[in-house]
Chain A
Amino acid sequence: MNPSASAPLLTLRRIAKNYGGVRALRGVDFDLAAGEVHALLGENGAGKSTLIKVATGAHRPDAGEITVAGRTLDGLTPTLAQQLGIACIYQQPALFPDLTVAENIGLRLEHGGAARRIDWPARRARATDLLARVGATIAPDTEVGELSMPEQQLVEIACAVGAGARIVIMDEPTASLTQREQARLFTVVRELRTAGVGVIYISHRLEEIFALADRVTVLRDGASVGTHPVAAMDEAGLIKLMVGREVAQLYPPAESPPGDVVLSLQNVGCSAAGVRAVSLEVRAGEIFGLAGLVGAGRTELARVLFGLTPATAGEIKLNGRPIAIGSPQQAIELGIAYVPEDRRRHGVILEMPVAQNMTMAVHRRLFPTSWLRSGAEQSLALEYVRDLAVKCSSCDAPGGSLSGGNQQKVSLARWLATKPRVLILDEPTQGVDVGAKSEIHRIIRRLAKDGLAVLMISSDLPEVLGMSDRIGVMRAGTLAAVLPGGSDAHTVMAMALGQEGDKGAA
């Protein structure tokens, strides 16, 4: 294919976007030609979703230029994007489950006042026609709630076709599909391409990119590291592009060999959480990193270990004794602590003062008579404010008034106060600025040195590689491999993506 033969459908030039202090995109160039499938690839947090949000008008870029079909746009809004023929199909279809397929399609495609009369036969006829064009055998009168996920995706694609979309963006469309459903989706995508539609295709699955895409653009840390014809690439080359950054930060090293096994899992599973057959051991003084793609089951495993979704299979041992973890209270009593992922929603109660946040999990020990002794509360809070260098105006300042890194320290303090034996950290430095990040890294290493068994979930690959003494890679709800600390990014990424690497020894 030859993109220069016709004017590109969509051109993005030097797109930059910041969220708070985080640079999500820093000058990305991207173009899409008519009749091509252009894959967008990158690690978690590389900036793929942000770029898509810019291209659909959901977010306005801080800098850069968007050109659609030769027309340079000042501000792209979702409505304008729709008029220009840009359609986006998300992983989770955004349809109305209680309305029929025809009604859903009608809602997207019909325009006019609230008082207009609906031409039901025309609506149904159009739905039938569009569904046929995308190869779906769905009756237009079916309620969308009764359809399977892939069928709903086809309805979404039918909407896009019906809207005359010239640019179709697909965000991990195969994440929940079976092989056969996937094959059918590919057929539809190829038909779109033949019809001259440009498709931006996002996926973590490399084999799909080789099967489907004409060109691939790899994003890393919010910047494009190159656009290549897929025919000229191989899997190893793509993985290298995705992770090929130098480990810029210095991570505090382990100073002493780990001690006894503290936490041991044997074939642990939980069907409701989608976790199956996980076996691993974490030793005192060890940081066990859990890597994997978003949705690979890492947070779900943490929730099993904290009693939020108790295990339904396998055996969990703590210091050699089999234990059952049925609730967070039990987990706390056993000495398991869980610092959750989304600190603003789950880690810290933003309206509550710092001191109250820190003592929340230790009421029983700190206040044996149940009477809240504010002296004890304040002194515990002060101890951790000093120890973790939390920057706050006072211990009575509401948690929400602190910066992200300091909120994370408050959340950490709450769990250190429980004097745990096992500390589970879920994305401990997500959205934290660089300075606070290395501070938190030093704290984690120090805690391990003091004898804690640390299980650290992180999507930040350099962090996992730099911090962990051993690295477990999760994929599809189970542990795909355990790699030694200091493994290279390529191996971890290959494991996470499901490429059986050559170094996959446990």
Chain B
Amino acid sequence: MKRYFRELSVTAALLLVLLGLAVLAPAFYQPQPLLSLVTREAPTLIVACGMALVIICRQIDISVGSQFSVCSVCAGLLAARGWPLPLVVAASAGLGALMGAINGGLVAGLRLPSIVVTLATMVTLRQGLNLVRQGEFVNLPDSVQWFGLSQSAGQATLVVSALVVLVVIGLALRHLSAGRQVYAVGTNAEAARLAGIPPQRVTFLVFVFLGALTGLAAIMNIVQSPQVQPLSGAGLELKVIAAVVVGGVAIAGGRGNLWGAFAGLLLLACVSPALTHLHIEAYWEKAIQGAIILLAVVADGVRQRRGGK
């Protein structure tokens, strides 16, 4: 119980919000708007899974928003040229993995601090994209939108695939040797090294993995609209890191799981529609999200002091 206290309390908070909405604003539960809400969050969820791994490994990647934009635009251009969708998906994931490899290579290979490395790649990728594309939108062929399915079928496909990714990575993190290694490196990299786990390789691979997931998330985003908007990923990194941290993944590494990240993401995502349904001004959204993050971080601080370590 104590071990999963944070995950349980975030889940409880989420349930409380959902319950409050059921009583005060039952309109929130109309199927179609709710499905749309969840669909919009599906790409973020995928990126959050990868981010959780990176943070558990005691690193951070703030370039995911820029990676996301680059993948979106490139995937859009390939699709517009008539590439079949499966190939576009593979190309986008591969491009993401490549950008992750650049981050991971610099962090693990040269042992540079990840916050600085990814700050640099964040700016470089974003400005490079602006330079090449001049902010131009990409028009997509009809076959791309909702994978060529009806809107509700497409939405359902997206939500289900995001959940599948979440469950698979969640189980892998808990039950695969590789997952255990991520925790070991994030908790004590030198001890892990002395136990035969190569910390640099693990660090490199979590960045590559996050990049590939970001590429997939870009696809899950572009299929939701007829055009690719080059600024679509702006601010994604903050949203994702906030969700992961609220969900109890310790920024100091070694602690947390995907269930918590999932609950944290939903809790933050609920704020905006809840305000709409409760007829509160939308200006409150960021303030409330900020307060939630602050509360989570303070809770961590208190827990650590009590723990006496």
Contact = CB atoms under 8 A, between A and B. Distances in A.
B191 A329 contact: no
Interface centre among B174, B177, B191, B198 (most CB of A within 10 A): B191
A347 B196 contact: no
Interface residues of B, number: 24
Given A367-B177, A370-B177, A349 B184 contact: yes
Contacts of A327: 198
Interface in A344-362: 345-352, 356, 360-361
A482 B174 CA distance: 49
A352 B188 CA distance: 10
A367 B175 CA distance: 10
Contact of B191 (A345, A364, A372): A345
A349 B192 contact: yes
B179 to A, nearest CB: 8
B303 interface: no
B194 interface: yes
B254 A351 contact: yes
Contacts of A340: 194
B176 interface: yes
Contacts of A345: 188, 190-191
A187 B18 CA distance: 79
Nearest to A398: B3
A361 B184 CA distance: 11
A328 B183 contact: no
B193 interface: yes
Interface centre among A338, A350, A351, A364 (most CB of B within 10 A): A351
A228 interface: no
A102 interface: no
A363 B184 contact: no
Given A352-B183, A360-B184, A346 B194 contact: yes
B175 A356 contact: no
A368 B198 CA distance: 18
Contact of A372 (B177, B196, B197, B255): B177
Interface string B135-150: 0000000000000000
Contacts of B195: 328, 360-361, 414
B187 interface: yes
A361 B192 CA distance: 9
Interface of B: 174-181, 183-184, 187-188, 190-198, 254-255, 309
Interface of A: 306, 308, 327-329, 331-332, 338, 340, 345-352, 356, 360-361, 363-364, 367, 370-372, 400, 414
14 contacts: A328-B198, A329-B198, A340-B194, A345-B190, A346-B190, A346-B191, A346-B194, A350-B188, A352-B187, A360-B197, A363-B177, A367-B177, A372-B179, A414-B195
Given A349-B184, A371-B177, A414-B195, 19 more contacts: A327-B198, A328-B193, A328-B196, A329-B198, A338-B194, A340-B194, A345-B191, A346-B188, A346-B191, A346-B194, A347-B191, A351-B254, A352-B184, A364-B177, A371-B176, A372-B174, A372-B175, A372-B177, A400-B309
